[in-house]
Amino acid sequence: MTDAEKLFNETYARLLSAYSIILGFRQSFTEVSGAVKNQLHVKAETVFRTLIEDPQWKDLLISEPGSESARVFGDQDRQLAKKSAEALFKQNYGSLDAATLIFFHSLLDAIAFDYCRVTALHAPQDWEDDIENAKVPLLDAKNKSYDQILRARLDRHMENLERESLRRKIDRLQARCQPPPDWSPMYDYIYDGKTIEAFDEQRHAIIHGKALGKPLGIFPISDRSLHYLLKTGTYLMGLVNFKYKLRLDPNYIGRVWQKA
């Protein structure tokens, strides 16, 4: 098995493994969400009741006008505690969605880059158009073969590509594999660059704090959207298979999972 074939299999194995881990992380919270919500409600009521009825806080809250008796925890306070608990629970779900998106973006970004690396290992000449304007030192041109120069330029190009956006990585992979319009290895999936751009934009909003703890409006997280991202990873694998006929080896993938 060549290095390209190994990386091709290892990359897809990592996609499936990481997807199950991320999904398990998300389900661990959703399965106990009812208990968490109730617990937040109980704690919120305890805090509000303590502030209102505990003597050590008697000078903290404003008393009702004309009333000399101590204030007691009432229905209005109970509703306020309930709303506070619901807001906190909603915020926690927003943080869960944000973490899920960040995890999956990191995964898909690495997957897209590694499939680019697969094509560079398997057919480095297919990247000539991307690096045709790269400057080559005179001594390199004198002392090295064309294949050696190509490999060195391509390695540097890959270092730069790794820092590019997810959409850019996918664009370069598509340029290598040249699929027909609306091509897909799956019947129920069509790659959409605008969806990936929204995914990228949502990650950027989270990283810079604008969307942290809030419902994700640019790229909402749901079972459907997560499944779309998984299929996008499979689509990238399919591109390489379509162009270069590299194939998955279940036995090798099994060994990769065992080592992991």
For 185-218, how does the pLDDT look when each residue is reduced to its tens digit (9 = 90+)? 999 999 999 999 999 999 999 988 776 667 788 9
DSSP 45: H
**Around Cβ 30, how many Cβ atoms within 10 Å?**
11
- Contacts of residue 212, defined as CB under 8 A and 6 or more positions apart, other chains included, come to 94, 95, 98, 206
pLDDT at 66 over 60: no
245 φψ region: left (φ > 0), alpha (ψ -120 to 50), beta (else): left
pLDDT band at residue 225 using 50, 70 and 90 as cut-offs? very high
Which two structure tokens, joined as six digits, stand for 219? 């790229």
Angle (CA) 8-160-4 rounded to 5° is 15
pLDDT band at residue 57 using 50, 70 and 90 as cut-offs? low
Tell me, what's the pLDDT at 258?
87
pLDDT in tens, 138-150: 445 556 666 776 7
Could you tell me which residue, 85 or 171, shows the higher pLDDT?
Answer: 171
Q: Give the span between the Cα atoms of 92 and 96, in whole angstroms.
A: 6
- Asked whether the CA dihedral 198, 204, 206, 211 is positive or negative, the reply is negative
Tell me, what's the pLDDT at 40?
61
Q: Give the span between the Cα atoms of 155 and 185, in whole angstroms.
A: 29
Q: 79-88, 116-125, 133-142, 179-188: which has the minimum mean pLDDT? A: 133-142
Angle between helix 3-30 and 223-244 (nearest 10): 170
Which two structure tokens, joined as six digits, stand for 133? 């304007």
Q: Please choose, from the candidates 150, 153, 148, the residue with its C-alpha nearest in 3D space to the C-alpha of residue 125.
A: 150
Contact 227, 15 (CB under 8 A): no
Tell me, what's the pLDDT at 41?
65
Q: Give the span between the Cα atoms of 245 and 198, in whole angstroms.
A: 31
Q: Give the span between the Cα atoms of 22 and 86, in whole angstroms.
A: 25
Contact 196, 166 (CB under 8 A): yes
- Report how far apart, in Å, the C-alpha atoms of 148 and of each of 32, 61, 168 are: 57, 77, 26
Q: What is the mean pLDDT of residues 101-116?
A: 96
pLDDT band at residue 27 using 50, 70 and 90 as cut-offs? confident
Q: What is the mean pLDDT of residues 111-119?
A: 97
